[in-house]
Homo-oligomer: A and B are copies of this chain.
Amino acid sequence: MSDEQQKAERHNQRMAKKKAIVDEKIQQAQKEQGVLIINTGNGKGKSSAAFGMVARALGHGMKVGIVQFIKGSYATGEEAFFRRFPDEVEYHVMGEGFTWETQDRERDIAAAEAAWEQAARMLSDPSYALVILDELNIVLKYKYLALETVLSALRQRPAMQHVVVTGRAAPEGLMEIADTVTEMGLLKHAFNSGIKAQPGVEL
């Protein structure tokens, strides 16, 4: 083989190798699987974005499970609305809510564990295409649930199941296993302009 031919040969081999690498990357990018999404930060919209994804999933004919880890007036509108669709949406609100006032840690832990029972059941049932764990981050921040318990349930969930976890101060370990982490940052707040929260939009 002439030098020219050898040169062309080596060139073709390099090209073939490059093409193989590109093909592999394309194939990897095709993998469909459930994603873990975290909405954190001090800004607004963490829970609203999760509830918007509920609407999106329902539009795609999916079944959705929602566990709200902090009982409060902040999401009563969403609760009232999504409870209209009992066949498509299973909605749980943590019974007790937190007892910041009484500082009764034992009671908070019991409430968090009861809510987690519902979440764990959904995370082991492939019929839920989307599971919302609203304000779970704060439960983890206060160590009312063990992070490892939550991480292993998320790791072992059905392959196609999507999960959205909301709340400030998402723990590092949770963000590590997440596919998408969005930080909602507050640039400007209506409270600063002296407008009180009201139905329809809690600011």
The one of B33, B45, B78, B130 in contact with A182, judged by C-beta atoms closer than 8 angstroms, is B45
CB-CB < 8 A to A55: which residues of B?
A: 51-52, 54-55, 77-78, 81-82
Integer count of this chain's copies in the complex: 2
CB-CB < 8 A to A32: which residues of B?
A: 195-196, 198
Main secondary structure of the interface of A (DSSP, over half): mixed
13 additional contacts (CB under 8 A) given A55-B55, A59-B76, A59-B82: A28-B194, A29-B196, A37-B201, A37-B203, A49-B49, A54-B55, A56-B202, A60-B77, A130-B201, A178-B188, A179-B203, A182-B187, A184-B185
Q: Which residues of A contact B (CB under 8 A)?
A: 25, 28-33, 35, 37, 39, 41, 43-60, 62, 75-82, 129-130, 162, 175, 178-191, 193-196, 198-203
